[in-house]
Amino acid sequence: MKLKKKPRRATLLIAMLPSAAVALLARLLLGWPLLAGWLVALNTATLIVWAVDKFQARRGGFRVPELTLHVLALIGASPASLMAMLTLRHKTQKTHFYVLYLILLLIQAAILFQWWNTLM
């Protein structure tokens, strides 16, 4: 699969596969819940994806598709997406990014809160 032909799929796989592997290792070696390992790894990978996109935007190179950034936020990386927007000052002209990620963050926080309460 060439990166230029399927950039959305390639960038999602670059973020998701290592995140899944790290989540599994955190489960096996540290006893973490899979969800916790997944969220830590995915948010870290998402920060890197945003930084790469910002770097590429400055130099006029290959860009990460916006849909990829949205999907990463949707599957659990909304905290990293918001943090990247604010710290890297990237995509800040697009108000819908703020609104979407803030809504996703609130929904995901509510889901995590509910999940945590069922464990206790």
Q: In angstroms, rounded to a whole number, what is the distance separating the alpha carbons of residues 109 and 92? A: 23
User: 114 and 34 in contact (C-beta within 8 Å)?
Assistant: no
Q: In angstroms, rounded to a whole number, what is the distance separating the alpha carbons of residues 68 and 3? A: 13
pLDDT interval class at 3 (50, 70, 90): very low
Q: What is the pLDDT of residues 49-61, one digit of tens each?
A: 999 888 988 898 8
Q: What is the pLDDT of residues 78-110, one digit of tens each?
A: 899 989 988 987 776 777 877 888 898 899 889
Q: What share of the chain in percent tops pLDDT 90?
A: 17
